Amino acid sequence: MGVIISLPVGITRTLVGVVQKFVLRQNKPLRIDLPLPFIPIDVIVVPDASQIVSINRDSDVNRLHAHPTESFLPGLSGTSRVMTLKENVDTPIEHLFTRKVNCPTPSIPRVVTKETTLKAHSHHEQDAFCALNGLLSYPAKPASTIILLSNSSAAEQTNSLFFTFGSDGEYRVCALKDFFYNSMTALQAELKARRLAIRNGS
């Protein structure tokens, strides 16, 4: 009986969220809430860079330890990155690898640990955070609601490699970021030199 009642409610809430997001253009995460029997779905997709940073610092949200990120969202292989670079030799690295299609990890999953509406935050001059209104219309459920932080969208919004290789700007970034940037920059310079040599008949 509970599922029979809650399923229409979940569908209605999802449709309302779709209208708010894509018709009214409200800057809130898209929530898909379908309490199906045996396989309940409650997923929140967050593409906004500032909201991703806020959620990452929210004590009511944690990493999804049960499954490694890679098993959910495989990124580009090393060969794919090189081919992408060869096809875009004149494009700056910061621009090329902050496009959605070129981000190694498009999204990162998180799980809600406490009932919460996910407070939005805003930077002050001293880099402090203050709570604003909640991002969700109704509370997320602990150990049930999954949040997908869309790093690729945030990277494209900010044109920042900090989101290509992390989910919290400079505060939480992959240790390989600088190595990747330096190696891709060196490879790009070599590709340009070879192209120039071919043009000059060398």
Residues whose CB is less than 8 angstroms from the CB of residue 198 and which lie 6 or more positions away in sequence, other chains included: none
> Mean pLDDT, to the nearest integer, of 11-31?
91
Domain count of the fold of the chain? 1
Query: Kind and range of the H or E element at 131?
Result: strand 129-134
> Mean pLDDT, to the nearest integer, of 8-15?
90
pLDDT digits (tens, 9 = 90+) for 154-191: 999 999 999 988 876 676 778 888 998 999 999 999 99
User: Residue 6: its pLDDT value, please?
Assistant: 80
Domain limits for position 50 = 2-199
CA terminus-to-terminus distance, the chain: 78
pLDDT-based confidence at residue 36 (cuts at 50, 70, 90): confident
Work out whether the CA dihedral 101, 152, 99, 17 comes out positive or negative.
positive
Residues whose CB is less than 8 angstroms from the CB of residue 82 and which lie 6 or more positions away in sequence, other chains included: 187
Asked if the model's pLDDT at residue 77 lies above 50, the reply is yes
Alpha-helix residue ranges (DSSP H) falling in the chain = 2-18, 49-56, 69-72, 78-87, 93-96, 151-158, 161-164, 177-199
